[in-house]
C-alpha cells in the first residue's frame, strides 16, 4: 500500500473519531448520553497511529478517555453509542458507560476510570501471551498523570525484569485534570523509563498519525521480536476540558495559544478537502449508530444482578 493510501486510511480513521465526538457534543445537552464523557478531540492521531501499527490479534488496555482507542482498534460504533445511551445493546450492556468501553472481539480489553490501573493488566496479559506462546503484543495506553502512580513503576519494573512483549504508550497532553506536569513531576517520563533499561521512543508530533504510526511500528516490531518492553511517549494536546463537552481555556490553567498552535498543525483542522470528502459518509454511519442507540431497549431489571460473580 502506498504512503498516500496509508495517509488517507489514517486520516479517515481519525476524522471518524473526531466526528463521533463532535456528535457526542451535539447530543450532550439532550441528556440522552447518561455518562460523564472524557473527549479525545486533539488526541485522535495517537490512537489511530498506534492501533494501525498493531496486528488484529494484539491487545489494547485503555483508559476512561477511551472513545478514540475503542474505535481505532475496531470497536463497533453502534455498540458504543448504545452504551453511552445506557442501552442493553451497548458494548457493556448498559453497565459501562463512556468510561468502560470494551471490545474484546477486536482486542480492546476494556478501560478503567482509575488512573494507571490497566497498565499492569497489559503487562500481565503479555506474561500470559508469552506463557501460552501466542505471537501477541499488549499495548497499555495511559496519560502523563498515570506515570506518577506507584503501579506504573511496579509495572515497568516487572515488564523490564521479564522482558515482556508490552508497549507502554504515554499520551502526554501535559495535564492531569487541570494540573500542569510541572506541578506534578520531578522526573522526565523518558529518562525514568530508561532507568529500567526500557527502550524509549518519543514522538513530538502527536497530531501526525503518520509519525505516530512510524514510531509505534518500530516499537511493536522490537517488542514482537523479543527485545523486551518499549515505552513510547507521544506528545499530544487535549482540546477540550478534562470531562464534559466544553472548552475551558477561559479558566486560566492552560494556554489557548498553545492549543491554537497544535490546531494549526492538526491535519483534521487543516485539510478541509479531505474532511469534506468523507464527512457525509461518516455522518451517515454516525446517524445510523445514534438511531440504533435510540431504538434499542433499556437493560431489563434482571440485568442488575447478572454477571456479579
Partner 1 sequence: MGVAHKLNDDLGAVCTYRDALHRSMHDAMTRDPNVVILGQGVDDHKGTFGSTLGLAEEFGAGRVMDTPLAEEGMTGIAVGAALNGLYPIQTHIRVDFALLAMNQIVNLAAKYRYMFGGRFEVPMLVRMIIGRSWGQGAQHSQSLQSMFAHVPGLLVLAPASADAILQTYPWIIEHHRGPVISLEHRLLYDVNFRVGAEAAATGDTPLGARVVRRGGAATVVATSIMVLEALRAADHLAQHAGIEIEVIDLNCVSHPDTRVIMESVERTGRLLVADTSWKAYGVCAEICRIVCERMPMALTAPVVTLGMAPAPCPTAKVLEDEFYPNLRRLTQELATLVLGREGRDVPLPDDASMADVYKRFKGPF
Confirm or reject binding of residue 100 to partner 1 (CB under 8 A). yes
Cβ proximity of 61 and 138 under 8 Å: yes
Backbone angles phi, psi at 36, to 5 degrees: -65, 140
Nearer CB in complex with partner 1: 7/196: 196
Q: Which stretch binds partner 1 (CB under 8 A): 5-13, 118-126, 242-250, 289-297?
A: 118-126
Confirm or reject binding of residue 291 to partner 1 (CB under 8 A). no
* Beta pairing class for 138-143 and 59-63: parallel
Give the angle subtended at the CA of 139 by the CAs of 74 and 232, to the nearest 5°.
115
How far, in Å, are 116, 120, 280 from residue 124 at the CA level? 14, 6, 42
Nearer CB in complex with partner 1: 85/262: 85
**Candidate residues 3, 5, 30, 131; the one interacting with partner 1 per rule CB under 8 A:** 131
Confirm or reject binding of residue 82 to partner 1 (CB under 8 A). no
For residue 171, the number of C-alpha atoms closer than 13 Å in the C-beta half-sphere is 31
Q: Which stretch binds partner 1 (CB under 8 A): 24-32, 93-101, 269-277, 278-286?
A: 93-101
Dist CA 1 CA 200 (whole Å)? 28
Element (H, E) at 167: strand 166-172
How far, in Å, are 194, 237, 245 from residue 241 at the CA level? 32, 11, 7
Q: Shortest approach of partner 1 to residue 155 CB, angstroms?
A: 5
Q: Shortest approach of partner 1 to residue 272 CB, angstroms?
A: 38
State the binding string over 219-248 for partner 1 (x if CB under 8 A, else -): ------------------------------
- Sequence-ordered list of residues with C-beta below 8 angstroms from that of 304, at least 6 positions apart, any chain: none
State the binding string over 5-44 for partner 1 (x if CB under 8 A, else -): ----------------------------------------
Q: Shortest approach of partner 1 to residue 194 CB, angstroms?
A: 19
At 23, list the grid cell: 456528535
Cβ proximity of 56 and 107 under 8 Å: yes
Cβ-count burial of 146 within 10 angstroms (0-12 exposed, 13-18 middle, 19+ buried)? buried
- Sequence-ordered list of residues with C-beta below 8 angstroms from that of 1, at least 6 positions apart, any chain: 9
**Candidate residues 39, 72, 84, 109; the one interacting with partner 1 per rule CB under 8 A:** 109
Q: Which stretch binds partner 1 (CB under 8 A): 116-124, 173-181, 234-242, 279-287?
A: 116-124
Nearer CB in complex with partner 1: 131/183: 131
Residues 158-197, interacting with partner 1 (CB under 8 A): 158, 161
Q: Which residues bind partner 1 (CB under 8 A)?
A: 59, 61, 90-96, 100, 102, 104, 109-110, 112, 114, 117-129, 131-132, 134, 138, 150-151, 153-155, 157-158, 161, 306-309
Amino acid at each position: 500500500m502506498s504512503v498516500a493510501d496509508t495517509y488517507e486510511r489514517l486520516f479517515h480513521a481519525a476524522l471518524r473519531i473526531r466526528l463521533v465526538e463532535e456528535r457526542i457534543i451535539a447530543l450532550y445537552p439532550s441528556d440522552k448520553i447518561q455518562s460523564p464523557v472524557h473527549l479525545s478531540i486533539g488526541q485522535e492521531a495517537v490512537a489511530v497511529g498506534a492501533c494501525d501499527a498493531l496486528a488484529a490479534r494484539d491487545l489494547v488496555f485503555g483508559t476512561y478517555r477511551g472513545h478514540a482507542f475503542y474505535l481505532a482498534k475496531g470497536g463497533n460504533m453502534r455498540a458504543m453509542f448504545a452504551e453511552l445511551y445506557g442501552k442493553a445493546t451497548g458494548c457493556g450492556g448498559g453497565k459501562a458507560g463512556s468510561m468502560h468501553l470494551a471490545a474484546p472481539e477486536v482486542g480492546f480489553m476494556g478501560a478503567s476510570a482509575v488512573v494507571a490501573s490497566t497498565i499492569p493488566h497489559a503487562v500481565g496479559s503479555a506474561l500470559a501471551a508469552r506463557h501460552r506462546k501466542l505471537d501477541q503484543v499488549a499495548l497499555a495506553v495511559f496519560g502523563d498523570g498515570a506515570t506518577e502512580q506507584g503501579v506504573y513503576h511496579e509495572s515497568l519494573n516487572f515488564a523490564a525484569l521479564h522482558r515482556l512483549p508490552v508497549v507502554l504508550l504515554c499520551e502526554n497532553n501535559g495535564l492531569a485534570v487541570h494540573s500542569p506536569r510541572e506541578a506534578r513531576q520531578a522526573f522526565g517520563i523518558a529518562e525514568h523509563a530508561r532507568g529500567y533499561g526500557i527502550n524509549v521512543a518519543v514522538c513530538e508530533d502527536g497530531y501526525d498519525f503518520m509519525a505516530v504510526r512510524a514510531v509505534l511500528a518500530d516499537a511493536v516490531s522490537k517488542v514482537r521480536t523479543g527485545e523486551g518492553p518499549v515505552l513510547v511517549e507521544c506528545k499530544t494536546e487535549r482540546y477540550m476540558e478534562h470531562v464534559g463537552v466544553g472548552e475551558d481555556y477561559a479558566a486560566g490553567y492552560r494556554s489557548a495559544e498553545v492549543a491554537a498552535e497544535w490546531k494549526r498543525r492538526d491535519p483534521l483542522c487543516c485539510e478541509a478537502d479531505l474532511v469534506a470528502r468523507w464527512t457525509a459518509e461518516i455522518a451517515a454511519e454516525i446517524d445510523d449508530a445514534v438511531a440504533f442507540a435510540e431504538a434499542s431497549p433499556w437493560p431489563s431489571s434482571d440485568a442488575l444482578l447478572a454477571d456479579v460473580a
